[in-house]
Amino acid sequence: MSDIAATASAAPPVDVSASLPARLAKGFVGRLVIIVPYLWLLFFFLVPFVIVFKISLSQSAISMPPYTPVLDFSSGWSGFVGKLKQLSFDNYLWLTQDALYFKAYLSSVVIAGISTILTLLVGYPIAYGMARAPATIRPTLLMLVILPFWTSFLIRVYAWIGILKPEGLLNQLLLSLHVISEPLVILNTYTAIFIGIVYSYLPFMVLPLYSSLEKMDYSLIEAAKDLGCPPTSAFWKITFPLSLPGVIAGCLLVFIPAVGEFVIPDLLGGSQTLMIGRTLWNEFFSNRDWPVSSAVAVILLLLLIVPIMIFQQAQARAQEQGK
Amino acid sequence: MKSLGSIRRAFAPWNDPNAKPYIQFENVTKKFGDFTAVNNLSLTIFEREFFALLGASGCGKSTLLRMLAGFEEPTAGRIMLDGQDLRGIPPYRRPVNMMFQSYALFPHMSVEKNIAFGLKQEGMPSADIQKRVAEMLRLVKLEQFAKRKPHQLSGGQRQRVALARSVAKRPKVLLLDEPLGALDKKLREETQFELMDLQQELGLTFVVVTHDQEEAMTMADRIAIMDKGEVMQVATPAEIYEAPTSRFVAHFVGNVNMFEGKVADRTAGTARITGASGAQIVVDNGDAKPGSDIVFAIRPEKIKVSSKKPAEGVNALEGEVYDIAYLGDMTVYHVKLDDGQIVRASALNAARISEDPLTWNDRAWVSFRPDAGVVLTR
């Protein structure tokens, strides 16, 4: 947000010799460019959020829509204010009283956290190899990373069922190679969820890592070696710190959607897995309790937005120091 | 006592048959696929020498430097440093440090951390590191910039940080890859002298790669002129300029006039040369065989231009003033000889008032002494 403001104030100086209407028109066009994304965010992010937030303050009801009060002006201004007074934070209180929600949030964050670390461990070597590959084959490698997006996400997750199930491809292969004598139980365990998340979100980790590693000047590594630094130590002292922006961006891109992930735990994790995405789905579709599920969604949003804002603040401060 | 050029050098181990070589390239070849970057090259550099590798881009000079640093291994031949064969020794174990053309400063570290980096790798106690870093900062006059990050510095300051970092470990040899390439002209000239002083002060051996002949001439004790992976000539700047051994070197450094011809006859150390048009000149030469084709190379400032025919005893050729460039400190004349060859001559404007002013299309004589140029057979 502050970036946009800074860009606006740093716009080229207005041509003083131009006539006043021309200058106004110029300023208007400049503003319009900034206004469009703001309008987009207002209508497609802020307004829906306000609606969800309002529903989270309502009470569940057997009606259409399934909550009360419904805000309208049919009974005039005083009626509207009266309805506003019916709103309460009871649903949020309810979330703190039932341990289920707390456990679901916690286990979602833990599962997403572990998955993010695993994705980083798998993704970093891939991105590093791509960045160090000859420049001629880099576009091909990049293409291969993006290629899975050309097939439906749902189909790819279903395919993992075929691979991981007891009589699936993986077990058949291991059995025929005599590595194992009994089929491994992977499907419907946390392991399957981790595999699914790592597989699905790998490109989101690899791409930012690749872009930060690729633009790194290789002579920095040579300089480190020249000053007596063996290759492994040069990696930890130079390459890794310089790729940190990519690491952080990749981790956020994986962690945030993984916390609210619903499809992967549902298909690969079986019925016993407790994740907030599933809880949300249950509240909405099984219990038809829109207010409580809206409260769950609002808390989830706050849960994710707070660390991002802290991170952005830190980054802005670092940039300010850098100047 | 006579010598080439105007410098008398006290430090000249290359003339001492007993001097111990410090760096030796022995028949070194480096190939990248089909491309031969360095071709069967041998070269000796002495301790405390300021040695320059000069050549156009792609001549193999940087490859030579990178082989010394350990970033490339020779395809054939060997490199010796202070009696030790460097083959197989990785860059991080070689007692040489390099100053990179891009400076390669670590962007996430402050100036003092950059300088301390190599010392930390060495396992130096931190009190000593602090002392050494402070000393280095003083040496490059950056004391008040110790806490800055590289991107907060100007180009010239970054160059000095890179220099301080590369000499902090007191390497046996400091390699400099186009050290002044990114600086503007004025700063470059100042820094040339700073580098020379620094080398004297620290007593290190410097090997510098450059494509700028003026830079090499100013700083180096000796220069190796390279072309297509081979060394064309290794000599002091004065020798390179006054006594080039090939047309390539004569052309590469400074301006030169070439007179081509056949040796007509010889008398007492001089040879009479007949040009294609029949004009004759007499030049100093020890061993040109009568009848052989040779080139006489002479620098513009060794040629005198006058409106009257000069006295006997010097070579004099007649022509017409074709172009004049007045540069302030000197004037450059292009004289078109009667056989069509254009001769470049330059005259130092030592006096403010000229006795013999020339203008375009004047008839003029160019003259030079028999020992003013060199005879080239290559």
Token pair 């052309």 is found at B251
- Dihedral over alpha carbons A296, A299, A304, A305 (to 10 degrees): 140
List the Cα angle A78/A82/A87 in 5-degree steps.
150
Do B178 and B294 lie in one domain? The reply is: no
pLDDT digits (tens, 9 = 90+) for A41-59: 999 989 999 999 999 998 8
Residue A198 has pLDDT above 80, yes or no: yes
Model confidence at A321, pLDDT cuts 50, 70, 90, reads: low
CA distance B292 to B294: 6
Can you list the alpha helix ranges (DSSP code H) found in chain A? 2-9, 20-41, 47-56, 76-86, 90-97, 99-132, 138-146, 153-164, 169-176, 190-214, 219-226, 231-234, 240-259, 263-268, 276-281, 290-322
Do A51 and A117 lie in one domain? The reply is: no
With respect to residue B3, please indicate whether it lies within any of the assigned structural domains. no
Retrieve residue A222's tokens.
């040579």
Domain boundary among A54, A71, A88: A88
With respect to residue B273, please indicate whether it lies within any of the assigned structural domains. yes
Q: pLDDT at position A19, please?
A: 66
Cβ of B117 within 8 Å of Cβ of A229? The answer is yes
Cβ of A220 within 8 Å of Cβ of B93? The answer is no
Helix pair angle (A90-97, A99-132), 10° resolution: 80
Do B59 and B123 lie in one domain? The reply is: yes
- In our burial notation (b when 16+ CB lie closer than 10 A, e otherwise), range A103-134 reads ebbebbbebbebbbebbbeebbebbbebbeee
The 3-state DSSP class for residue B90 equals coil
Chain B residues in contact with A322 (beta carbon < 8 A): 149, 151-152
Cβ within 8 Å of residue B156, ≥6 positions away: B183, B187, B191
Do A69 and A173 lie in one domain? The reply is: no
Model confidence at A12, pLDDT cuts 50, 70, 90, reads: very low
Retrieve residue B319's tokens.
């022509």
Do B263 and B236 lie in one domain? The reply is: no
With respect to residue B130, please indicate whether it lies within any of the assigned structural domains. yes
Is A251:A243 a contact under the CB 8 Å cutoff? Answer: no
pLDDT digits (tens, 9 = 90+) for A65-80: 888 888 777 777 888 8
Q: pLDDT at position A10, please?
A: 42
- B41–chain A nearest CA distance, Å: 24
Furthest-apart CA atoms within chain B: distance in Å: 77
Retrieve residue A8's tokens.
């606006």
Cβ of B98 within 8 Å of Cβ of A226? The answer is yes
With respect to residue B6, please indicate whether it lies within any of the assigned structural domains. no
Mark residue B361 as left, alpha or beta (left: phi above 0; alpha: psi -120 to 50; beta: remaining).
left
Do B72 and B128 lie in one domain? The reply is: yes
Do A244 and A135 lie in one domain? The reply is: yes
Closest CA in chain B for residue A233 = B121
Chain A residues in contact with B92 (beta carbon < 8 A): 225-230
Model confidence at A13, pLDDT cuts 50, 70, 90, reads: very low
Is B209:B176 a contact under the CB 8 Å cutoff? Answer: yes
Is B374:B330 a contact under the CB 8 Å cutoff? Answer: no
Is B246:B233 a contact under the CB 8 Å cutoff? Answer: yes
Q: Are strands B373-376 and B363-368 parallel, antiparallel or unpaired?
A: unpaired
Do A100 and A75 lie in one domain? The reply is: no
Q: Which residues pair with B330 in a beta bridge?
A: B348
A184: domain CATH number?
Answer: 1.10.3720.10
CA distance B254 to B346: 12
The 3-state DSSP class for residue B353 equals coil
Do B133 and B189 lie in one domain? The reply is: yes
Do A120 and A264 lie in one domain? The reply is: yes
Do B334 and B246 lie in one domain? The reply is: no
The DSSP secondary structure of B179-207, one letter per residue, reads TTTTS-HHHHHHHHHHHHHHHHHHT-EEE
CA distance A47 to A40: 10
Amino acid at position A84, single letter = L
Closest CA in chain A for residue B150 = A322
State the complex-level ipTM.
Answer: 0.84
The H or E element that residue B96 is part of is: strand B96-99
CA distance B301 to A225: 48
Amino acid at position B216, single letter = A
pLDDT digits (tens, 9 = 90+) for A204-229: 999 999 999 998 999 999 999 999 99
Do B122 and B236 lie in one domain? The reply is: yes
Nearest of B77, B57, B56 to residue B67 by alpha carbon: B77
With respect to residue B1, please indicate whether it lies within any of the assigned structural domains. no
Please give the DSSP secondary-structure letter assigned to residue B259.
E
Domain boundary among B218, B250, B282: B250
Look at chain B and count its residues.
378
Do A67 and A116 lie in one domain? The reply is: no
Retrieve residue A187's tokens.
């499907």
Cβ of A226 within 8 Å of Cβ of B91? The answer is yes
Interface test with A, best of B106, B122, B132, B133 (most A CBs within 10 A): B106
Model confidence at A1, pLDDT cuts 50, 70, 90, reads: very low
Do B125 and B262 lie in one domain? The reply is: no
Is B240:B253 a contact under the CB 8 Å cutoff? Answer: yes
Do A103 and A39 lie in one domain? The reply is: no
Neighbouring CB atoms inside 10 A of A23's CB total 14
The H or E element that residue B312 is part of is: none
Do A169 and A278 lie in one domain? The reply is: yes
* Residue A25 structural domain: 2-88
- B36–chain A nearest CA distance, Å: 21
Neighbouring CB atoms inside 10 A of B264's CB total 14
Task: Give how many domains chain A has, as a whole number.
Answer: 2
Cβ of A230 within 8 Å of Cβ of B92? The answer is yes
Chain B residues in contact with A220 (beta carbon < 8 A): 104, 106-107
Is A208:A249 a contact under the CB 8 Å cutoff? Answer: yes
Neighbouring CB atoms inside 10 A of A33's CB total 11
Q: pLDDT at position A147, please?
A: 92
Q: Cis omega (within 30 of 0) on the bond before A65?
A: yes
Do B265 and B309 lie in one domain? The reply is: yes
Q: Count CA atoms within 13 Å of residue A108 on its CB side.
A: 27
Domain boundary among B190, B218, B250: B250
Do B228 and B328 lie in one domain? The reply is: no
Token pair 């009848």 is found at B291
The 3-state DSSP class for residue A276 equals helix
Task: Name the residue facing B69 among A220, A226, A237 (closest C-beta).
Answer: A226
pLDDT digits (tens, 9 = 90+) for A119-151: 999 999 999 999 999 999 999 999 999 998 899
Q: Cis omega (within 30 of 0) on the bond before A69?
A: yes
Token pair 């390279």 is found at B226
Model confidence at A14, pLDDT cuts 50, 70, 90, reads: very low
Do B81 and B147 lie in one domain? The reply is: yes
Residue A2 has pLDDT above 60, yes or no: no
Q: pLDDT at position A144, please?
A: 94
Task: Give how many domains chain B has, as a whole number.
Answer: 2
Do A70 and A182 lie in one domain? The reply is: no
Task: Name the residue facing A228 among B104, B121, B151 (closest C-beta).
Answer: B121
With respect to residue B2, please indicate whether it lies within any of the assigned structural domains. no
With respect to residue B54, please indicate whether it lies within any of the assigned structural domains. yes
Retrieve residue B335's tokens.
């004289």
Is B83:B44 a contact under the CB 8 Å cutoff? Answer: no
- B98–chain A nearest CA distance, Å: 7
Cβ of B104 within 8 Å of Cβ of A228? The answer is no
Interface test with B, best of A226, A229, A320 (most B CBs within 10 A): A226
Cβ of A225 within 8 Å of Cβ of B107? The answer is no
User: Which residue positions in chain B have pLDDT lower than 70?
Assistant: 1, 276-278, 286-287, 313
Do A45 and A171 lie in one domain? The reply is: no
Query: How close are the terminal C-alpha atoms of chain B, in Å?
Result: 30
CA distance B166 to A39: 54
Burial class (CB in 10 A: 0-12, 13-18, 19+), B269: exposed
pLDDT digits (tens, 9 = 90+) for A246-282: 998 899 899 999 998 888 998 998 877 888 888 888 8
| CA distances from residue B233 to A283, B38, B51, B225, B247 in whole angstroms, order as listed | 86, 15, 13, 5, 11
B360: domain CATH number?
Answer: 2.40.50.140
**Alpha carbon A239 to chain centroid distance?**
25
Do A203 and A303 lie in one domain? The reply is: yes
CA distance A113 to B209: 51
Do A151 and A71 lie in one domain? The reply is: no
Domain boundary among B250, B269, B287: B250
Cβ within 8 Å of residue A214, ≥6 positions away: A130, A131, A138
B17: domain CATH number?
Answer: 3.40.50.300
Closest CA in chain B for residue A231 = B92
Retrieve residue A63's tokens.
């009606």
* Residue B36 structural domain: 13-250
Do B170 and B302 lie in one domain? The reply is: no
Q: What is the pTM of this model?
A: 0.80
CA distance A131 to B261: 58
